[in-house]
Amino acid sequence: MASNVQPAKLTASRNTLVIVAIIGIAVVAAFAAILLANNNTAVSIQNYADVPMSRTADGGFVLGNPDARITIVEFADFACPHCIDYLPTSERVINDFVKTGQARFEYRTFPTAGGQVTAFLGAIAVCLDEQRPGVFWEVKDRLYQMASTGRYDGNTGRTIAQSLGLDYSAALACAQSQKQIETDVAVGQRAGVQGTPAVLIRVDGGDLEWIQVGGQRYDRGGAPYEIIAAAVQAYQ
């Protein structure tokens, strides 16, 4: 009798574990779907057509009036959840201050959450811009959009290049020797950047500095819109 009862107990136990595992997977999948859906609603492709575009002497990508005294500098990772959450603030800053000529906006790729995938895709973005100057900004938005919907991997660059009618094979070859991301990381590290998003400023083309308003230094996470607005107004 004992030899017959033991297998039955094991079978029941295994069935229970399978059911628990299936439920656990379903819950995780549902939670992930909710997160992706929420991120997706916040990410869109912006219109940069009428905004002056340039690059710094060391290759950083810049939007805005070259005569503006203040430059808002963001270090970010396309796959960083906090960077995706911060996008509405960045977009508002660009719309309110960069497109109106009051400030410039400089973007630096600083791999954190995305690791080597972000370093690779960042290089692809630079190489695609070399094919079509100015396209970096749209590629940046598309990278965020794809990251927010769970489509961020080694094939993401190919998908974006094809959608824009650009040569991915040429971009891939270019990326093998592209050093811009290493430059961006070095710039950030010298300024004390330790995570993303990080927002600093340049005044009159000077060195990077953290925003300070009302005696408080904003050196952790993305600075709030109101703080950036105050910094911009201080240099008009």
Q: Domain for residue 4, yes or no? A: no
Q: Domain for residue 24, yes or no? A: no
Q: Domain for residue 5, yes or no? A: no
Q: Domain for residue 31, yes or no? A: no
The one-digit pLDDT tens for each residue of the chain (236 residues) are 333 333 343 334 434 333 333 333 333 333 333 344 444 445 889 999 999 999 999 999 999 999 999 999 999 999 999 999 999 999 999 999 999 999 999 999 999 999 999 999 999 999 999 999 999 999 999 999 999 999 999 999 999 999 999 999 999 999 999 999 999 999 999 999 999 999 999 999 999 999 999 999 999 999 999 999 999 999 99
Q: What is the pTM of this model?
A: 0.82
Q: Domain for residue 36, yes or no? A: no
Distance CA 99, CA 105 (A): 10
Distance CA 188, CA 93 (A): 21
Assign residue 109 the CATH number of its domain. 3.40.30.10
Q: Domain for residue 74, yes or no? A: yes
Distance CA 150, CA 81 (A): 11
Distance CA 158, CA 124 (A): 9
Q: In terms of residue numbers, what domain contains 188?
A: 43-233
Q: Domain for residue 141, yes or no? A: yes
Q: Domain for residue 18, yes or no? A: no
β 103-109/70-76 pair status: parallel
Q: How far is CA 24 from CA 38, 65, 134, in A?
A: 21, 52, 45
Structure tokens given for 116:
């080597």
What is the tally of structural domains in the chain? 1
Instruction: Give the number of other Cβ atoms within 10 Å of residue 172's Cβ.
Output: 16
